[in-house]
Chain A
Amino acid sequence: MMDYVAPTTLDDAYRALAAEDARCLAGGQSLVAMMNLGLVSPARLVSLRRIDALRGIAAQPDGALRLGAMTTHAEIAALDVASAGASLLAQAARVVAYPAVRAWGTIGGSVAHADPAADYPVALVAAQATIETGSASGGRRIAARDFFRGLFETALAPGEIVIAVHVPAGPPGGRARYEKLSVVAGDFAILSVAAIVAETAQVAIGGCAPTPLFAMAIALSDTALLAAGQELARQSNPPDDHRTSPQYRRRVLPELLRRTVRAAQELS
């Protein structure tokens, strides 16, 4: 017996989530798919779509961009952004799934779902973003690197909701690039690289471990970039799935990293 509620305030949402086996319903683009496949059947769905506090995109005094959890991929893809951090996120949003999924899928939902092959976690780790959460007992700010804990596993406690994502501007003169290697447009990544490049590069790698891999202060020579890629490949734990083998992912990682950094530098 499944129950559905659609609160209009966060406090009402926290109360609704106190019920046993309650799940947040954001854009539904992953949760409803999993329900259809019989993978999950929550006792209660708490729809977040009527909560105004979860919407809106606002520049912060420190130059960061705050994106409400219910901001859709299409809204982020359409951002006209100056900062490297926000540009990285917008590039990632443009390659999430397909137009119909981008129209309704949300950044909060994607972040809370924590699919290891998803695009946002990689971009958020590379951009050194933080996740703002809320619950009946108060709010927290969690660095993206600490937020993603494992395969579909996050730092969220029971009853805690993703409220917003804060994306810092990045280093002065920084340039961003998100590269996704996939079998066909819209599929999850075989491998993805998110890079912010200034005097040095900071990168995150997706699709080849339960959580994004991260490295920073990488010198910009080919040798240094490939060496950093080889080190990340050693740290990786790539899946063996219908898309490709772990060996292939490790093999292409260093070169995809190098190309991503070069592509970032070529952007004006």
Chain B
Amino acid sequence: MSDPVRTELTVNGERHDVLAPVEATLLDVLRTSLSLTGSKRGCNHGVCGACTVLLDGKLARACLTLAVDVGERPVITIEGVAGDTGFSAAQRALIDAGAIQCGFCTPGFVIALTDLFARDPHPDRAAIRSALSGNLCRCSGYVKIVEAAERLAGARA
């Protein structure tokens, strides 16, 4: 590991000064320096989607983003999705559909759904499946997750 360098990050609207080596990923820093453990470390090479966050308003793998390279781009993690409202609409939809089993993948799915519904309030099944194609769930078989998204799409008149 290289010597730590000072890096400024804006996470969920708050500025943070962190010390992290150049090779530290955003995921490392979120979980260890900032104690934001909602973003999960699954595969750590971009396949599973459990670490998905919003970077500058776009979906990003926190494990494929170097903390030192984030710069001025704001980061939103699962901890910042609901704000002060308890649960976001996407989180509520997953709960209501029973789409959560072990929960490890859930933060990534919530972020992916948050991004999808911000772009398209009424996605069809194909759009939902495409939007979730980068997130793995080893419990549910995806059926209830897609159902939750379809309910949310239908509920948004």
Query: A: which residues have CB within 8 A of B?
Result: 1-4, 6, 25, 28-29, 32-33, 35-37, 41, 45, 47, 49, 74, 97-101, 103-104, 185-186
Contact = CB atoms under 8 A, between A and B. Distances in A.
Nearest to B63: A36
B59 A35 contact: no
A37 B49 CA distance: 16
Interface string B109-138: 000100100000000000000110111000
B68 interface: yes
A100 B56 CA distance: 12
A149 to B, nearest CB: 25
Interface of B: 2-3, 5, 21-23, 25, 44-46, 49, 52, 55, 58-61, 63-66, 68-69, 71, 112, 115, 130-131, 133-135
Contacts of B134: 97-101, 186
Contact of A4 (B22, B44, B52): B22
Contacts of B49: 98, 100
A1 to B, nearest CB: 5
Nearest to B2: A2
Q: Is the interface of A mostly helix, strand, loop or mixed?
A: mixed
A98 B64 CA distance: 13
Nearest to B131: A99
Contacts of A47: 69
Ranked nearest first, the 9 interchain pairs of A and B with the lowest CB-CB distance are A98-B134, A100-B59, A33-B45, A2-B2, A2-B22, A103-B58, A185-B133, A4-B22, A1-B2
A101 B130 CA distance: 13
A32 B133 contact: no
Contact of A99 (B46, B59, B65, B66): B59
A2 B63 CA distance: 18
A6 B58 CA distance: 21
Contacts of A98: 49, 133-135
Contact of B23 (A2, A29, A103, A104): A2
Contacts of B2: 1-3
B65 A32 contact: yes
B69 A101 contact: no
B23 A41 contact: yes
Nearest to A27: B64
Contacts of A36: 25, 44-45, 63
B60 A104 contact: yes
